[in-house]
């Protein structure tokens, strides 16, 4: 399951010009009657991943805070903008992912 999550996240972020350096995830057990499934039970965010711009290696994650680099909010907003989940248009709706060609 972890390898599938890695493949998915790597592809998702590469498509928007961000390299996934590493990430932390937690799993949980979900019981449904007699059946038990292992599920991802964690957030995926710049707090739980190290994310670098693919062209500049600029850090777009919590390392900005840890290393007192400043620009934490701007970096998180850039990730959200590229993912298309930051409201940037007049419609008040997400724009969708922005493909970045390197």
Q: Which CATH number do you get for residue 76?
A: 3.30.470.20
Q: What percent of the chain has pLDDT over 70?
A: 84
93 within domain boundaries? no
pLDDT of residue 97: 62
Token look-up 């850090």 returns 59
pLDDT digits (tens, 9 = 90+) for 19-66: 999 999 999 999 999 999 999 888 889 999 999 999 999 999 999 998
Residue holding tokens 């409201």? 87
- The verdict on residue 40 lying in a domain is yes
Residue 94 lies in a domain: no
Distance CA 38, CA 1 (A): 9
Q: Are 41 and 24 in contact (CB under 8 A)?
A: no
Domain that holds residue 23: 2-83
Span 6-25, mean pLDDT? 95
Supply the pTM of this predicted model: 0.77
Number of domains in the chain: 1
């Amino acid at each position: 399951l972890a390898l599938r999550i890695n493949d998915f996240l790597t592809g998702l972020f590469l498509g928007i010009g961000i390299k996934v350096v590493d990430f932390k995830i937690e799993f949980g057990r979900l019981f449904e009657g007699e059946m038990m499934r292992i599920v991802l039970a964690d957030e995926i965010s710049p707090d739980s991943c190290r994310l670098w711009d693919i062209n500049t290696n600029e850090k777009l994650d919590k390392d900005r805070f840890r290393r007192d680099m400043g620009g934490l909010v701007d970096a998180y907003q850039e990730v959200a903008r590229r993912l298309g989940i930051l409201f940037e248009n007049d419609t008040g709706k997400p724009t969708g992912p922005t493909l970045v060609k390197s």
